[in-house]
Amino acid sequence: DTAVSQTPKYLVTQMGNDKSIKCEQNLGHDTMYWYKQDSKKFLKIMFSYNNKELIINETVPNRFSPKSPDKAHLNLHINSLELGDSAVYFCASSLGIAGPDTQYFGPGTRLTVL
């Protein structure tokens, strides 16, 4: 069983379109995250939810909107896609928000904006 899954794995779209990426975890974790990995492989956190409540919201354009319908799901919707949004987006989850809690990552979604 896949612990943290994301769909789709690849997403190719035109500038200006709206797209969503879905994430699900079956680990029973309370906390979920979205990260962006750029072309230089640098990882940056975007959002974090704990028990469906937003707890981390980095300086991300408001075209990005996360939604957590329940603890096991955290989706990312992106409006008006731009070339600079091209990246790999990773979902992750952890037991909670405590310091020692390990984050477990999904396989990633490679977004290409043309």
Partner 1 sequence: AQSVAQPEDQVNVAEGNPLTVKCTYSVSGNPYLFWYVQYPNRGLQFLLKYITGDNLVKGSYGFEAEFNKSQTSFHLKKPSALVSDSALYFCAVRDNSWGKFQFGAGTQVVVTP
Given the rule CB under 8 A, which residues bind partner 1? 4, 40-43, 45, 48, 55-56, 58, 90, 92, 97-100, 102-108
Residue among 72 and 97 whose Cβ is closer to partner 1:
97
Nearer to partner 1 by Cβ, of 83 and 98: the residue is 98
Strand-pair partners of 63: none
Phi, psi of 85 (to 5 degrees): -80, -10
CB of 73 to partner 1, least distance (A): 17
Residue 113 CB neighbour total at 10 angstroms: 19
How far apart are the two ends of the chain, measured CA to CA in Å?
A: 34
- Our CB check for partner 1 shows the closer of 12 and 15 to be 12
How far, in Å, CA of 27 to CA of 30, rounded?
A: 9
**CA-CA-CA-CA torsion for 23, 29, 35, 40, nearest 10 degrees?**
-110
Minimum CB–partner distance for residue 108 and partner 1 (Å): 5
Tell me the closest approach of the beta carbon of residue 62 to partner 1, in angstroms: 19
Closest separation between CB of residue 80 and partner 1, Å?
26
User: 18 or 58: whose CB is closer to partner 1?
Assistant: 58
**In this structure, are residues 2 and 26 in contact, taking their beta carbons and an 8 Å threshold?**
yes
